[in-house]
Copies of this chain bind each other. A is one copy, B any other.
Amino acid sequence: MQGELISVAQRLFGEHGYEDTTVDAIATAAGMSRRSFFRYFSSKEELVLGKYELVGEQLQDALQARPDDEPLWDALQAMFAAISGKAVPDASAQTVHAIERVVEESPSLRAGYLYRLDVMQRLLVAEARDRAVRAGVPYAEDDPTPEALVGSAFACMTAARTVAASAEASWEDTVARAMGVIRHDPYRNTSRR
């Protein structure tokens, strides 16, 4: 039923855009009442972005799977590589692309997407701190390192996703390239090394 609603909604979003498609229109098109729609999704945004909720846990699992003594940056790169094209767990590449187009189109959806990324990052920062402790580093509350590295890794991943759209390289290579920018040459001016 949820999948039915999603596919109906995606079609309507494609025709009229996200903002101009009312919940009423989606529910009616799917043959149910507005009230029932909200029993399947807590909000219109949730219908589009709900699948991203799972990604956070997957990333956390992927990071936990890396050895504690592996450098954090390497572990984060492996983590991103592990969930192929990242986005949504099941969903086809086409579906993912459709979702991305809708998100790109609407500021409020974009905001919700960024919020979910932010939640993931907080999860992973906590995990990164735990790793450090397990590796024997004394806990320092005012150390910006975990947050800086996790946040930077996400920034590189996002940059990788931007260029991955029109790239023929594999996701692993694309991520490695983006994260390599930081890895090899943080000083770099795009002109000279």
Contacts and interface: CB of A to CB of B under 8 A. Distances in A.
Interface stretch (A16-24, A30-38, A50-58, A180-188): A180-188
A4 to B, nearest CB: 28
A158 interface: yes
A156 B167 contact: no
A143 B181 CA distance: 10
Contact of A111 (B71, B111, B136, B182): B111
Contacts of A145: 159, 181, 188, 190
Interface stretch (A7-15, A93-101, A146-154): A146-154
Copies of the polypeptide in the assembly: 2
Interface in A106-143: 107, 110-112, 114-115, 117-118, 128-129, 131-132, 135-137, 141-143
A61 interface: no
Contacts of A75: 189
B115 A188 contact: no
Nearest to A67: B189
Contact of A156 (B110, B141, B151, B179): B151
A156 to B, nearest CB: 5
Contact of A152 (B117, B156, B174): B156
Contact of A159 (B110, B144, B163): B144
Interface in A63-117: 68-75, 107, 110-112, 114-115, 117
Given A114-B114, A151-B154, 17 more contacts: A111-B112, A111-B114, A128-B190, A129-B190, A135-B191, A135-B192, A137-B190, A143-B163, A144-B156, A144-B160, A144-B162, A148-B155, A148-B179, A149-B182, A149-B188, A151-B155, A183-B186
